[in-house]
Amino acid sequence: MNLYKYVSEKLNAALGFEAKLETPRNREFGDFATNAAMVMAKTAGKNPRELAMEILPKIQGLDFVASASIAGPGFINITLKDEFLWSAGKTAVEITPAEQSMIIDMDYGAYNVAKSLHIGHLRTSIVGDTLYRLGRALGHKMISYNHMGDWGRSMGMVIAWIEKIHPDWPFFQPDFDPVADYSKYAMPIEELDTYYPSAAALAKTDPEFLERAQVITADLQRGHAGYNALYNVFLPISLDSMAKTIKKLNILPFDNDLGERNAAKYIEPVEKILRDKNLLEKSEGAEVVVVKRQDDNKPMPPVMFYNSRGAVPYDATDIMALYYRKITDNPDLVIYLTDSRQSLHFEQLFRVVELMNMFNPNALEHIGYGTINGTDGKPFKTRDGNAAGLNDMIALVQNAVRERVAESDKKLDDETIDNIALAALKFNDLMHDLRADYVFEPSQITSFEGRTGPYILYTAVRLNSVLKRAGEFTAPENPKLGSDERNLLMELLDFDRTVSAAFENRATDMIANYAYDLCQLTNTFYHNCPILHESVDADTRNMRLTLVRMTVAVLSRTLDLMGLNIPSEM
Ligand code: ARG
């Protein structure tokens, strides 16, 4: 239940106008406050205190209000009935569906074939997955796309490299047999992963090699049998490795792995629309769409549709991908999640499809996230100075957890260590404002105290163990609540609101920080309010156990929205 919304709506109905409800930091004077009297005083031609006195009885008359009083120049503080809060607690974990359910295409992950996943794919994967889960929980039809880089220049580079090291392979021979079985040419992923970096390095110094890679790219796209057969040898190796990382990250499988290659199939209909609308212009052998507007006050280069070799570049595949989504999903909204350096690309893209009358610009959204830095404030690199691979990052965090566990006298199995490490990595990613940079420091994010994933998991494990030790109990009907218990209950009743606010603002940090606040209040409660101790009477014990059960429900759901697993012990 969304307590804030419930109280707000009842209050407005009673007053007959929109009152703004505030949540005071300090609950000493009330659970909510409103400045309605101050805002309405002018129109009513009264002074605020006078008006407050007039509307006070209406607020006091609401069946869930315990007391309401006037403070200062005309604020009204409202305290809710414990009885009401307690019964609302039973539905705290329920998520109210969004008023309008939408079809939302989410484009995140966007991995590249034959290039191992690296640090740049971390935020798109983790944040994308959580946004997807949030949207789904709110009743939207979410459709995820791992828009794979599986058809562009890097494919040509990889094939050119293989040609260079294995010129005798059949794929490169004029008498190539397209129906034979080539599976024995499969290479281990570790080897495949080295091809692109080697090729890219060579292309920088060797223009002939670069030229060769470009010719191969265009030929591959045109259906060259040998290159396509070779492509089909390394594609599954790459996909298999991605699937393993996705599993390791505990993100939901993508609904679609359709990327650039699929998009390229729609070149004809898209080109037709562009030509019919006179949007394609020739430019130095290439064909482009001009997207510059008169009122632009920054550079807005044209979008390349065909390059001078007739191949379709990255820009163009995104137009076709949107065309594909339009004719299949017909989404109300498309959300892209990439590094903020791609902002211009998406601005250009959105202009093209607006010119094509395909999508309204407010149905398209690009979220550009910040950089993951090391403690030196520069983009995080491994010791050898390279951009970190995603698997390396996971291993770094796992090792940091292992060290911590070894220092303490805990004995935890590998699965538990992996779950703690994943929580450390993901929670740290989610708790930061997604548009800002943040620092990645394995030893800090694995601490069992403070704003960290392990702290959240530890709290959940502790609550589960209380319930386990308690055995069966009955929830009391209308118990007396102390202030720590009441504070915790109020926070539980803010879960529903947080879920919708986090999604609406595309702010995954709201859900992560909610988990932290909830754990803080839980631990204060746990510290101040004994539960299973023999000195505690049965009514109090059952009330506190019920509160623990409600908290476990909400906290588990929150962790699930972040794709985290609660270990059985820690
Ligand atoms: N594969 C690209 C990369 O790794 C990102 C693609 C983002 N999504 C898109 N629809 N353009 O840089």
Task: Give the model confidence (pLDDT) of 196-212 as tens digits.
Answer: 999 999 999 999 999 99
**Residue 378: strand, helix, or coil:** coil
Q: Which atom of ligand 1 is nearest to the CA of 112?
A: 1
CA of 225 to the centre of ligand 1 (A): 27
C-beta of residue 79 within 8 angstroms of C-beta of residue 24? no
Q: Which atom of ligand 1 is nearest to the CA of 338?
A: 7
C-beta of residue 291 within 8 angstroms of C-beta of residue 348? yes
The pLDDT of 306-324, averaged and rounded, is 91
Shared-domain flag, residues 412 and 498: yes
Shared-domain flag, residues 157 and 53: no
Per-residue pLDDT band for 476 (boundaries 50, 70, 90) equals very high
CA of 338 to the centre of ligand 1 (A): 7
Q: Which residues contact 312 (CB under 8 A, 6 or more apart)?
A: 221, 264, 267, 305, 306, 320
Q: Which atom of ligand 1 is nearest to the CA of 339?
A: 12
Q: Which atom of ligand 1 is nearest to the CA of 346?
A: 11
C-beta of residue 105 within 8 angstroms of C-beta of residue 67? no
First to last CA, the chain: 31
Ligand 1 site-directed mutation target among 324, 342, 347, most atoms within 8 Å of CB: 342
Which contiguous run of DSSP H or E holds residue 466?
helix 453-470
Nearest CA to ligand 1 atom 9: 147
Answer whether residue 114 shows pLDDT above 90. yes
| Residue 281 counted as domain residue | no
Residue 429's nearest CA partner among 256, 249, 554 is 249
| Residue 158 counted as domain residue | yes
CA of 72 to the centre of ligand 1 (A): 55
In the sheet with 21-22, reading across from the earlier edge strand, the strands are 21-22, 32-34, 75-80, 65-71
Domain end position, chosen among 23, 57, 80: 80
Ligand 1 site-directed mutation target among 147, 336, 349, 359, most atoms within 8 Å of CB: 147
C-beta of residue 452 within 8 angstroms of C-beta of residue 52? no
Mean pLDDT lowest among 84-93, 107-116, 383-392, 507-516: 383-392
Q: Which residues contact 509 (CB under 8 A, 6 or more apart)?
A: 430, 431, 432, 433, 434, 502
The pLDDT of 225-233, averaged and rounded, is 97
Which contiguous run of DSSP H or E holds residue 304?
strand 303-306
CA of 386 to the centre of ligand 1 (A): 21
Answer whether residue 383 shows pLDDT above 80. no
The domain spanning residue 465 has which CATH number? Answer: 1.10.730.10
Q: Which atom of ligand 1 is nearest to the CA of 145?
A: 10
Ligand 1 site-directed mutation target among 338, 364, 367, most atoms within 8 Å of CB: 338
Radius of gyration of the chain (CA): 29
| Residue 485 counted as domain residue | yes
Answer whether residue 385 shows pLDDT above 90. no
Nearest CA to ligand 1 atom 6: 110
Q: Which protein residues are within 6 Å of ligand 1, measured from CB?
A: 107, 110, 112, 147, 149, 318, 321, 336, 338
CA of 121 to the centre of ligand 1 (A): 10
Shared-domain flag, residues 44 and 173: no
Per-residue pLDDT band for 41 (boundaries 50, 70, 90) equals confident
Residue 134's nearest CA partner among 551, 565, 560, 433 is 560
| Residue 305 counted as domain residue | no
Answer whether residue 403 shows pLDDT above 90. yes
| Residue 458 counted as domain residue | yes
| Residue 457 counted as domain residue | yes
Shared-domain flag, residues 20 and 162: no
pLDDT score recorded for residue 100: 96
C-beta of residue 262 within 8 angstroms of C-beta of residue 324? yes
Q: Which atom of ligand 1 is nearest to the CA of 115?
A: 4
Spatial distance between the Cα atoms of 352 and 279, rounded to a whole number of angstroms: 9
CA of 147 to the centre of ligand 1 (A): 6
Q: Which residues contact 533 (CB under 8 A, 6 or more apart)?
A: none
Shared-domain flag, residues 74 and 178: no
Shared-domain flag, residues 45 and 174: no
Q: Which atom of ligand 1 is nearest to the CA of 345?
A: 11
Domain end position, chosen among 217, 248, 279: 248
User: What single-letter amino acid sits at 217?
Assistant: T
Answer whether residue 19 shows pLDDT above 90. no
CA of 467 to the centre of ligand 1 (A): 46
C-beta of residue 522 within 8 angstroms of C-beta of residue 141? no
- Measured between alpha carbons, how far is residue 348 from residues 178, 313, 319, 345 in Å? 40, 14, 10, 5
Spatial distance between the Cα atoms of 68 and 443, rounded to a whole number of angstroms: 48
For β-strands 32-34 and 364-369, DSSP reports them as unpaired
CA of 495 to the centre of ligand 1 (A): 33
Spatial distance between the Cα atoms of 348 and 364, rounded to a whole number of angstroms: 12
C-beta of residue 52 within 8 angstroms of C-beta of residue 19? no
Q: Is the CA virtual torsion 503, 244, 395, 423 positive or negative?
A: positive
Q: Which atom of ligand 1 is nearest to the CA of 259?
A: 10
Shared-domain flag, residues 76 and 160: no
Per-residue pLDDT band for 185 (boundaries 50, 70, 90) equals very high
The domain spanning residue 21 has which CATH number? Answer: 3.30.1360.70
Range of the domain at 498: 390-561
CA of 482 to the centre of ligand 1 (A): 52
pLDDT score recorded for residue 39: 83
The domain tally of the chain equals: 3
Shared-domain flag, residues 172 and 76: no
C-beta of residue 462 within 8 angstroms of C-beta of residue 526? yes
**Residue 67: strand, helix, or coil:** strand
Domain end position, chosen among 46, 80, 114: 80
Mean pLDDT lowest among 22-36, 143-157, 170-184, 407-421: 22-36
C-beta of residue 270 within 8 angstroms of C-beta of residue 254? no
Spatial distance between the Cα atoms of 370 and 410, rounded to a whole number of angstroms: 36
Answer whether residue 539 shows pLDDT above 90. yes
Count Cβ neighbours within 10 Å for each residue of 190-210 and write b for 16 or more, e otherwise.
eebbebbeebbebbeeeeebb
Per-residue pLDDT band for 37 (boundaries 50, 70, 90) equals confident
CA of 261 to the centre of ligand 1 (A): 13
CA of 438 to the centre of ligand 1 (A): 21
Shared-domain flag, residues 552 and 444: yes
Shared-domain flag, residues 44 and 193: no
Answer whether residue 308 shows pLDDT above 90. no
Structure-block tokens of residue 66: 């315990």
Q: Which residues contact 545 (CB under 8 A, 6 or more apart)?
A: 466, 467, 470, 473, 531
pLDDT score recorded for residue 410: 86
Q: Which atom of ligand 1 is nearest to the CA of 314?
A: 11
CA of 23 to the centre of ligand 1 (A): 41
Spatial distance between the Cα atoms of 511 and 385, rounded to a whole number of angstroms: 34
Spatial distance between the Cα atoms of 285 and 217, rounded to a whole number of angstroms: 17
Shared-domain flag, residues 73 and 158: no
Q: Which atom of ligand 1 is nearest to the CA of 121?
A: 4
Judged by phi (left if over 0) then psi (alpha if -120 to 50, else beta), residue 180 lies in: beta
| Residue 417 counted as domain residue | yes
Partners of 106 in the beta sheet?
A: 144, 335
Spatial distance between the Cα atoms of 326 and 516, rounded to a whole number of angstroms: 39
Nearest CA to ligand 1 atom 12: 110
| Residue 17 counted as domain residue | yes
Q: What are residue 65's phi and psi, to 5 degrees?
A: -90, 130
Shared-domain flag, residues 171 and 69: no
